[in-house]
Structure 1
């Protein structure tokens, strides 16, 4: 489970086995008891939310938008 970075207690990561065929680029964000997944392309979009309130989803969305280039680079490097 490659970690890209941590932010405010949340782990931003993806799984080494992302499906067959592989799902499009996305990021998982987790902390104990919660998890969200955001698609990175073509636009940052929430794929699912498990246990996070709307305010935190908005904050996480903003972080993903701000660091989208870093996330895409990590995705492309790992799955190249």
Structure 2
């Protein structure tokens, strides 16, 4: 699970094996977790995040989307 970014208590990462899906990024903070699609910056699922945290997550993913996608492509060779 390569970590892409740690900021404001959030940890952004991706799993090394998620075949057949569009590129996602996972986010954890404490016990809360979410999965966010990179292409549309939309939350695929979340457990335990408040609405304001999800807003912050979407803004952070949008701001770092190119770097996240580049890391995804480098890791998977796409």
Q: Which residue of 2 aligns with 1:77?
A: 74
| 1:54-73 alignment, distance < 5 Å | 54-73=51-70
**TM, length-normalised to structure 1:** 0.90
**TM, length-normalised to structure 2:** 0.93
Q: Which residue of 1 aligns with 2:25?
A: 27
Unaligned runs of 5+ in 1: none
Unaligned runs of 5+ in 2: none
Q: Distance in 1 between matches of 2:41 and 2:54?
A: 12
Alignment length (residue pairs): 77
Q: Distance in 2 between matches of 1:9 and 1:65?
A: 17
Deviation at 1:67, TM superposition (A): 0.7
